[in-house]
Every structure is written in structure tokens, then in C-alpha cells.
Amino acid sequence: MGLISSKDLLENAKETNYAVAAFNIHNLETLKAVVEAASELKSPVILQTTPGTVKYAGLSYLHAMADVASKENDIPVVLHLDHAEDYDLIVRCIDSGYTSVMIDGSKLPFDENVAAVRKVVEYAHPRGVQVEAELGRLVGAEDDLNVSEYESSLTNPDLAAEFAEKTGIDSLAVAIGTAHGLYKGTPRLDYDRLKEIKKRVSIPLVLHGASDVPDDMIAKAVEYGINKINIATDIKIAFVKAMKKYLEEHPEESDPRKYFTPAIEAAKEVAKHKISLAGCKNRA
């Protein structure tokens, strides 16, 4: 099939009220786990790479692996650049064949965020690449914010509508209480805020930091309008735990094929669960 843009996928998810699962991959093994899970469940899938992963694995390698996966599996596959702040890197990824990019200007003042995002949109759209951006600040799990700081970090529904209109983005990542990494306690998701954003914004909404969030909370977020969920930490933890277990039981083993196999299977099971939770099973 070849790599596709996520624009139509996410628009369909918005119209029929489900989410597409997006997974951060780092190498061949994590890519295989995610794509095999999606293929077995007949689900579309978004493969995400951070700027750090691009630096680690190499842009050409990542695109080549994703391209092969998209052609050997009869499901829609998207290759997405996640949380990029460097315009030049975004351009390089688009030119190399990425079909979706995220420009993260969430740390910037509103007008500067708009300008940075608009610049990416003007480059990406003529080349058939969809653009995601973020308004509000997704805190880290280790952040210790007081109530007023916490509230101010979340997405303002009125500003979200203005932001989407001024930038021309295809999807909007919203901050409603999730965080990157693992949580110290149970996360607090502001569903009322999500519903207000949904009323004001016509484009698909994205939930970052969906790892380590209870299933019922993710399901409720999808019900209230989230159309893409981002998973990174849950995949990494499952992969590493399975590999460590194998090596503890076989300390003499030096063949990567042996210890990567159970790691792939463990990550694959997590991916299957998240795909089912998002509601994108049998949506390919």
C-alpha cells in the first residue's frame, strides 16, 4: 500500500468516534511489534519517531523500514515525526518521505506558536503531509505544579479554536491532564475541558502521554472526542522487561535474535491492547 498521510484516517476517526493508536518506535524490533499487532487486528497504525530517535537510528533507515512495513502489510501505515521543534529537521523528514509531522511550539507564547506552526503548514500541505501541533503544555510526570500552575498548563478551549483557525493545522494535541512518562498517582483528566474544546474545534484531537493511564480513562477520552492516542512508555517497558527476563534465565545467550524475540512479542501484546482500547480494530 505504501505510507499514507494520517489526514483522512483521523478525519474518519473523528466522524465515527474512535481513535487511531500511534506508537513511538525506536528500531526494527519495536517497529515489527507494532506493525504486526496492527496487521493482525486489521487496524490502521501511526508509527512515530521523536527527534531523538531520528538522531539515534538515522532518518533514511527509519523511513526505509516504515516504507517496507507499509508495503508488506495490507493496512494503512503512517510515518509521523513527533514533538519536533526544529524547522530544518521537519523539512528533512518531509523531504525524505514522512507523511505526517508535529511541530511543537507549546512552550512558546501564543503568537509565536502560531507563526512557527503556520510556517510548517505552508511547507507540508503542498507536499501532501498532514501537520499536528500542540496548544497547552503537557507536564512531565515528575512536575510538581500547584493548582493554578496546573490549570494554566492546560489547553484553553477558546484559544484552541483560534489556534486551529490561524495555523491551518490538521490535528490538535490538547493538554487535559496527561503527562509524559509514568505517573506518581492516578492522573486527573479534565473531561469537561475536553468536551468544550471538542465543541469549538472542528479538526481531530490528539491525546499525548496516554501510557500508564487507566483503560477506562482512555476510553472516556475517546468517547468525548479524542481521535489519536500516543503510546511510548508502555511499549518500551514491556519490551525491556521481556528482554531482561530472557537474559536472566539465559545469561549465556549472546544471540540478539533469541532475546529480541520475546521482547517483540511482549511489546506486540501491549500494542494490541491499545489498538483495541482506541477502537481502531478492524478499521483498516
C-alpha–C-alpha distance, residues 77 and 21, integer Å: 11
Residue 140 DSSP code = B
What average pLDDT does the segment 231-252 reach?
Answer: 97
Whether the per-residue pLDDT at 95 is higher than 50: the answer is yes
Catalytic residues: 82
Q: Both ends of the chain: CA-CA distance in Å?
A: 12
Residue tagged 503510546 (cell numbers): 231
Annotate 25-86 with DSSP letters as a single string.
--SHHHHHHHHHHHHHTT--EEEEE-HHHHHHH-HHHHHHHHHHHHHHSSS-EEEEEEEE--
Is the pTM here over 0.75, yes or no? yes
pLDDT in tens, 32-67: 999 999 999 999 999 999 999 999 999 999 999 999
Sequence spans of domains, the chain: 7-278
Annotated binding site: 83, 104, 134, 180-181, 208-211, 230-233
- 49-64 burial, b for 16+ CB within 10 Å, e for fewer? bbbebbeebebeebbe
Annotated binding site for Zn(2+): 83, 104, 134, 180, 208
pLDDT at site 178 = 81
Cell numbers for 110: 501564543
282 conformational bin, left if phi > 0, alpha if psi -120 to 50, beta if neither: left
Average confidence score pLDDT of the chain: 92
- In Å, how far are 121, 150, 179, 185, 210 from 182, measured between CA atoms? 32, 17, 8, 9, 10
pLDDT in tens, 119-167: 999 999 999 999 999 997 554 443 333 334 445 578 999 999 999 999 9
What does the chain come to in residues?
284
pLDDT in tens, 270-279: 999 999 999 9
C-alpha–C-alpha distance, residues 43 and 283, integer Å: 5
Annotated binding site for dihydroxyacetone phosphate: 181, 209-211, 230-233
The domain defined by 7-278 folds into: TIM Barrel (3.20.20)
pLDDT in tens, 172-195: 999 998 876 655 556 789 999 999
C-alpha–C-alpha distance, residues 106 and 262, integer Å: 38
